């Protein structure tokens, strides 16, 4: 060999061989809880090498070969972990000094995946186009915010304000870092706790919610269909519905244990007022073999105060000039 691959990559490629067929084909006999339901409990990483959307040049190519996946993996890890050339010693994708905190987009484990994208429907692996009403809505919000980005905390993003995070908000999608979650179970309930953000407490008795107040993370209800947990989420706050969707967005999620280390996560997103058609995605959640620790981030924290006070200082300096 001309070079030595990292140990994790060798293990990854061995696992990738198994994933050349749809994940559900590999399902084994299901573990059960003490009360007889499929056991999904555990701490998992969401970080997977497949991007959310398929690179356009790949067309409808759904899977990489193991050799292609190795090349793509190395390229993607280089991209997400590269240093920011404008600020030596820092990373482009995180807001902490990399040399000090050793923080990267994939901390520890990468879920094996031969798919060329998380999105599988439509078959081009890309989010469908926005409908005209959604474009108008997006542009109006952008125009209203332009020039007022630092007026106050309400003008900052909900993630920056520590209100919601992609690792918890349905559909669950890998974030920039800390892309981990933990699943807890008790009779009648499943809890999904992202490493960052509030937990989703999901009743599993199949109840139907017809009228409820909008929630930051929506109103989720679950039911068991054989070995699969099916979660339906509606009732979003229109400020948190994904990618400028409306409060009428409907997300369906399917979680199925495949083996001791893997849970398949599949989702479907529907909102006719936002996208031309529904879209679906799938990727594996992989056992962390460890625990999650508290990510202490609350609205009104020192970070927000510093962001706004820094902007006031910039404004005062501009007035003096």
Higher per-residue confidence, 310 vs 100: 310
pLDDT given at position 270? 96
Q: Which of 5-14, 41-50, 271-280 has the highest mean pLDDT?
A: 271-280
Model confidence at 96: pLDDT above 70? no
Confidence of residue 124 (pLDDT cuts 50, 70, 90): very high
Contacts with 50 (C-beta within 8 Å, 6 or more apart), sequence order: 113, 115, 116, 117, 118, 283
187's tokens: 């009779």
CB-based burial, 3-32: b 16+ in 10 Å, e otherwise: eeeeeeeeebbebbeebeeebeeeeeebee
Q: For 262-272, what is the mean pLDDT?
A: 96
pTM attached to this predicted model: 0.81
In this predicted model, what pLDDT tens digit does every residue of 165-174 receive, in sequence order?
A: 777 789 999 8
Higher per-residue confidence, 98 vs 151: 151
Q: State what percent of residues in the chain have pLDDT above 70.
A: 80
Model confidence at 301: pLDDT above 50? yes
pLDDT given at position 220? 93
Task: Show me where the domains of the chain are located.
Answer: 7-320
pLDDT given at position 17? 38
pLDDT given at position 273? 94
CB-based burial, 72-107: b 16+ in 10 Å, e otherwise: bbeebbeebbeeeeeeeebbebbeeebeeeebbbbb
pLDDT given at position 27? 45
pLDDT given at position 10? 37
Model confidence at 3: pLDDT above 70? no
pLDDT given at position 70? 86
**Which of 76-85, 175-184, 312-321 is predicted with the least confidence, judged by mean pLDDT?**
76-85
Mean pLDDT of the chain: 81
pLDDT given at position 15? 44
Phi and psi at 206, nearest 5°, equal: 75, 10
Confidence of residue 76 (pLDDT cuts 50, 70, 90): confident
In this predicted model, what pLDDT tens digit does every residue of 15-51 receive, in sequence order?
A: 443 444 444 444 456 789 999 999 999 999 988 888 8
Q: How far apart are CA 103 and CA 91, in angstroms?
A: 9
């Amino acid at each position: 060999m001309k070079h030595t691959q990292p140990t994790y990559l060798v293990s990854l490629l061995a696992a990738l061989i198994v994933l050349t067929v749809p994940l559900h084909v590999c399902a084994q006999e299901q573990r059960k809880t003490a009360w007889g339901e499929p056991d999904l409990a555990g701490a998992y990483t969401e970080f997977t090498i497949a991007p959310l959307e398929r690179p356009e040049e790949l067309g409808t190519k759904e899977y990489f070969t193991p050799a292609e996946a190795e090349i793509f993996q190395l390229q993607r890890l280089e991209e997400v972990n590269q240093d920011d050339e404008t600020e030596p010693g820092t990373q482009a994708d995180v807001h902490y000094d990399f040399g000090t905190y050793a923080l990267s987009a994939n901390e520890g484990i990468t879920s094996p995946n031969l798919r060329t994208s998380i999105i599988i429907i439509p078959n081009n692996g890309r989010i469908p186009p926005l409908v005209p009403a959604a474009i108008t809505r997006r542009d109006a919000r952008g125009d209203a915010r332009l020039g007022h980005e630092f007026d106050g905390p309400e003008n900052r993003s909900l993630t920056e304000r520590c209100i919601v995070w992609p690792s918890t908000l349905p559909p669950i999608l890998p974030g920039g870092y800390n892309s981990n979650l933990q699943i807890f179970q008790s009779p009648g309930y499943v809890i999904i706790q992202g490493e960052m953000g509030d937990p989703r407490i999901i009743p599993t008795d199949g109840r139907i919610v017809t009228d409820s107040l909008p929630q930051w993370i929506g109103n989720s209800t679950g039911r068991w269909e054989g070995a699969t947990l099916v979660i339906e989420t509606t009732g979003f706050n229109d400020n948190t519905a994904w990618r400028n969707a409306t409060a009428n967005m409907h997300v369906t999620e399917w979680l199925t244990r495949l083996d001791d280390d893997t849970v398949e996560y599949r989702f479907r997103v529907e909102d006719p007022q936002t996208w031309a058609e529904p879209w679906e995605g799938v990727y594996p959640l992989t056992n962390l073999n460890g625990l999650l620790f508290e990510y202490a981030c609350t609205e009104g924290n020192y970070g927000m105060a510093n962001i706004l006070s820094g902007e006031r200082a910039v404004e005062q300096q501009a007035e003096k000039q």
